[in-house]
Structure 1
Amino acid sequence: MQKDPSPREPVDSDVDLRHPAGVVPVRRGEAAVVGAIAAGGAIGASARYGVGVAWPAAAGSWPWATMMINVVGCALIGVLMVLVSEVWIGQRLLRPFVGTGILGGFTTFSTYAVDLQRLLADGHALIAVGYLFATVAGAIAAVFAGTHVTRALVRRSRR
């Protein structure tokens, strides 16, 4: 059993140190949230797989499909966060279903890391570095744009 952390040590709110290995029993009502995430994840991962099959990257080339998946997914996360916090308040399962599930299953930063590793291993360092920075910059810009455009549209529609 782990010791309680010191008051200055950050603790993940999903970890309960009173239980062995931080395992917390499922509380009543959480099954619906887990189900929403699982259903959304199946949808998002299937969509990502479809894009990857439709738009494969040749060895040593820029992984456009993975980059676009991550940038579009980040833009949609920005849109979603404004909508769930300012428009569809109180929809308990919407954020887990769409955000964690669909968009979490759709975006794929693990594939991004594997793409980088393959490009470097195959001697394509320049492409790898470009891909590294372009994906991060594109993802951050997409969240910013999605959030700000959606917020502006929401405010405009409320006038």
Structure 2
Amino acid sequence: MRLILAAFLGGVLGTSLRFAADVAVPHTTDQFPTGTLLVNVLGAAALGWLVGGLWTRPAVPAWLKVALGPGVLGSFTTFSAVMVSLVAQGAAGLWTLAVGYLAASVVLGFAAAALGLWLGRLFDERLTRRRDIA
């Protein structure tokens, strides 16, 4: 029950953050969905950082991992929003925009996740070294 509550509360927070991003950076079908791209790239980097660092630590409780991963980041970043934008752009005949958006989403998403993993591992290694020295 604790894990379900953690996912629920994290989801409420992530969805609220996502809605705020959509309000802050709105777009129409014929515009590049910058807000969605930024949210998904930021979420990929954050999840990479968590997986590469924080989640490797045995002391991190499962409820926190669930709240942050599937909860906050799962509801903040949405694959479905990417697909809706792509389908809407294609239906409107905006193929160049759709292909550019898809390419940007994949390339920047992978790059952000890789950067997040690297930073998470680097952060974890530094914390481990500090603890070993102390």
TM-score normalised by structure 2 residue count = 0.90
SS of aligned partner of 1:93: helix
- Which residue in the other structure is 1:110 paired with? 80
Residue among 104, 125, 129 paired with 1:155: 125
Alignment: residue pair count: 129
Matched, 1:63 2:3: no
Matched, 1:122 2:122: no
Bigger relative contact order (CA 8 A; separation at least 6): 2
Q: What is the alpha-carbon distance in structure 1 between the residues aligned to residue 103 and residue 11 of structure 2? A: 27
Matched residues, percent identical?
Answer: 34
Distance 1:121 1:94, change over 3 A: same
SS of aligned partner of 1:123: coil
* Conserved 8 A contact 2:52-2:119: no
Moved more, 85-94 or 113-122: 85-94
Structure with larger Rg = 1
Give structure 1 stretches of 5+ with no counterpart: 1-30
TM-score normalised by structure 1 residue count = 0.76
Instruction: Within 5 Å, give how 1:79-118 maps onto structure 2.
Output: 79-87=49-57, 89-118=59-88
1:158 positional shift:
2.8
Whichever residue aligns with residue 56 of structure 1, its letter is P
SS of aligned partner of 2:93: coil
Superimposed CA distance per residue, residues 105-146 of structure 1 (whole angstroms, 9 cap, x where no aligned partner): 100110110000111111110010011111011111111100
Give the RMSD, CA atoms, in angstroms. 1.3
Greater percentage in helix: 2
1:88 positional shift:
5.7
* Conserved 8 A contact 2:29-2:85: no
